[in-house]
Amino acid sequence: MQNPGTATPERFPAQERFADGAQFIAGRLTKGTSGRTHAVVDPATGEEVYTYELAGTDDVDAAVAAAREAFPGWAATTPGERSDALHRFAAVLADRAEDFARAESLQCGKPLKLTREFDVPGTIDNTAFFAGAARHLQGQSAGEYSGDHTSYIRREPIGVVGSIAPWNYPLQMAAWKILPAIAAGNTIVLKPAELTPLTSLLFAQAATDAGIPDGVINIVTGTGKEAGEHLVGHPDVAMTSFTGSTPVGKRVAEVATATVKRLHLELGGKAPFVVFDDADLEAAVHGAVAGSLINTGQDCTAATRAYVQRPLYEAFVERTAALMETVRLGDPFAPGTDLGPLISHVQRDRVAGFVDRARAYARVVTGGEAPQGDLKDGAYYRPTLIADAAQDSEIVQSEIFGPVLVVLPFDGDDEGIRLANDTPYGLAASAWSSNVYRANRATREIKAGCVWINDHIPIISEMPHGGYKASGFGKDMSAYSFEEYTQVKHVMFDNTAVARKDWHRTIFGDR
């Protein structure tokens, strides 16, 4: 049964919205049918704040059926009608911004100032962007490419989209998957992470309240093994979009292949942060701390590997460690908190394991431990700087997903760029230099979906997000994302008044 848990109304003002369950199917909340429950835990305190029934395969079937039923009507709406609905949706989100910010902070442990200033405004902006983009879904102009025939290209919705979102940015990931899909005329079933379903459910409720028809957006909250795999393999799902780790992404691809569906994967990252010897050192130090600790390091684009040209190396290590030591850990709802907990004690222990193993081959300059005192019950871990690790070591090559930055020296520019590219991942990177030619070379030669120059981490709705190599394929946000959720059709007209027989005669002869 549903349990409101221990969260106060101040921390969780929207909790009454979840009284009927954590599955949102055909416009209403329902309880899951798996026979098992799951608790949303406040990672700052370890306390359960909401317990709900998990989705089973029957719930997935019901959600897909609702999406399939809604698809013909939604696909038939004009771009202007979909645009108007998304503009109303953005207005509802803005009216409920504080509810979203607090629910996101509660379930993820994010500082409230981060959700207020980044997660929620970014989601509203993304909704407004796709409200405009809905009017600009274009094919190609007509042309005569074969005799008396005219050809043109139509872009059409695909059908029911089945999406799986991660726990690190549950609200934004829900938006990145839902908005381009429905703007293009598709319907969707989204499975959020079972740790963090609250804002995805609020998002779907807000869409319904804005007038988006029942069944266009559906949410099933269950485990990846049961609900997720069933959704990906469902024969009535035409496209799968997944954000998460590379190993799980490989499994998603394997299941999706059986039904030959469209696949969109945004996977792991291990972003390099390359500092050339002519960089502004103080700017680079501040960029490294912010870029590595954003969302407690639980960000696939976070700066994780700093390569610093040798003349600046020791100064960079010393100043970065000193700045990290000023970062304030604390209650996510406290105004002075800079860094919240990791998502869970399991994740904290995983991060600690990476650091503890690295002590045998590298130097832990600062951090490397969980705080005690008032924070001992939460999933906190101190900002950690590690120096002098080998390029092929675990701490350099593996995705840690925590507040850990590894710093390595390099000599020439060739070496710096080579080291930046020397992992399986290619999601994001940054290069720091005052020389435009060096910077331009870095943007050209670093193999990543995004390369920042003299900055690290900002994103905007108008520009795509997505990776190279083992970081997956396909784009989120931007017009590129919009096109991912369409299929291309070639239409060809014979322009003669009477159908010509020349072509047929060539094939079949006179008859």
Which residues are the active-site residues? Answer: 266
- Beta-strand relationship, 404-410 and 303-309: parallel
What letter would DSSP give residue 19?
T
- Please report, for the chain, how many H helices and E strands are present, in that order: 17, 22
Q: Which amino acid is at 365?
A: V
Does residue 295 come out as left (phi exceeding 0), alpha (psi in the -120 to 50 range) or beta?
left
C-alpha to C-alpha distances, 19 to 36, 66, 80, 189, nearest whole angstrom? 17, 22, 35, 21
Q: Which amino acid is at 27?
A: G
Q: What is the dihedral of CA 3, 177, 132, 443, to 10 degrees?
A: 130
Residue 400 three-state SS: coil
DSSP element (H, E) containing 506: helix 502-508
C-alpha to C-alpha distances, 53 to 56, 174, 217, 243, nearest whole angstrom? 9, 20, 20, 24
HEC secondary structure over 226-280: HHHHHHHHCCCCCEEEEECCHHHHHHHHHHHHCCCCEEEEECCCCEEEEECCCCC
| CA dist., res. 444 & res. 236, Å (int) | 41
